[in-house]
Amino acid sequence: MNNISQFPGNPDYPELDVPAFKQAKAKASDATIEVKRLFIQTQYLPSLHSRVSELDQAMGNADASLRETAQSLDTVLGIQVGTLRELQKEFQSARESDREEIIEDIVLRIQSILDTVGKGELTLQDLIPAMASPIDRAATGNYITQLEADQARLPAEVLEIKERQDALEAKRKALTDAMALIEAKGFTELAKDTALTAQELVKVGMTPPQLIAVEAAIALAQQILERAESLINYLNMVEARNTLRKQIDDLINSTYAKTSELRLVTLKKELITESYSFDDQRAQYIAEFGKCVTAMRSFLTTRNDVDGGDQDAVAQFSVDALSLAKYLKVMA
């Protein structure tokens, strides 16, 4: 707490952290923009988005009102204190018979200053409730927990899909390589109608390693086409390769879907964490805003019964009024 003077009984004005106040307002506005952007992308938790928007609007109204009040008090109190001091000068040189009337004018001027400050204090105090309620972190915390579980689950699922895709790609390559061997032997047209057997493959001059590769591909085609007991020709191998291509495409689509889901989950979590960031700044803003209300209330409480005939008390009242105006002006 920072006393405006060292005399006991004078108003006690809390020390303001103006940079923290202005930074809190700026960061809260930035967080609001982020929450809006993330909501547009996700359409997630509309009630949270609305709450942040309402609180930000309330802070905007409070900020504008505080600036207006501070500027108004600086001007009005300066004029009124000037008048009050002129009355005091008049009181010092006045005849005894005139002093009672001057005191009445001093009391009216003091009351006018108190009314002006009281009106400003009430205006600012009434703005606090609209921005005072914090974000419900208990409810959103449950969402965070689920989103973090999804963030852990989805990459593992994407990896598992990629492993399956790699396995299918290897099978497809084995079929493609075997078909290339058949094509290289000029056996393609005949193989369209002829079962691919070891005997037929030897006839076209395949070496043992080539024969092993083609026979493995034939077995693979039987497995893919679920024809374990059937003979396989070249067209069956084409069919098997096309089947693999479709399976691979399905896995690619599945990977894309999982990746998109992971991105959405990440954005949803960011929306909540940005709302927390906003809430932290809101709390800091209110703490500094509330100091202004406290200072005005302190002035009103300690100076609400100044004796208009006590010129030392009136002089101190003027000092305190101008000090209050100066105190608040830094927030404008």
Where do the structural domains in the chain lie, given as residue ranges?
2-150+277-329, 153-262
Higher pLDDT, 204 or 244: 244
How high is the pLDDT of residue 194?
66
Lowest mean pLDDT among 171-175, 216-220, 268-272, 281-285: 216-220
Q: What is the mean pLDDT of the chain?
A: 91
* pTM of the predicted model as reported, rounded to 2 decimal places: 0.81
Average pLDDT, integer, range 248-271: 97
For the cut 90, the answer to whether the pLDDT of residue 235 exceeds it is: no
| pLDDT tens figures, 7-38 | 446 788 999 999 999 999 999 999 999 999 99
Q: Lowest-pLDDT range, 91-100, 106-115, 246-255, 256-265? A: 91-100
What are the pLDDT digits (tens) for 32-56? 999 999 999 999 999 999 999 999 9
Per-residue pLDDT at 1 exceeds 60? no
Res 193: pLDDT:
65
Please indicate whether residue 194 or residue 149 has the higher confidence score (pLDDT): 149
Q: Is the pLDDT of residue 68 over 80?
A: yes
In terms of pLDDT, which residue wins out, 90 or 197? 90
- Over 80: is that where the pLDDT of 190 sits? no
Q: What Rg do the C-alpha atoms of the chain give, in angstroms?
A: 41
Specify the pLDDT at position 229.
66
**pLDDT given for residue 23 in this prediction:** 97
pLDDT of residue 2: 37
**pLDDT tens readout for residues 129-148:** 999 999 999 989 999 999 99
Task: HSE, CB side, 13 Å, CA atoms: give it for residue 77.
Answer: 29
For CA atoms 306, 307, 308, 313, the dihedral sign is: negative
Phi-psi region of 7 (alpha: psi -120 to 50; beta: other; left: phi over 0): beta
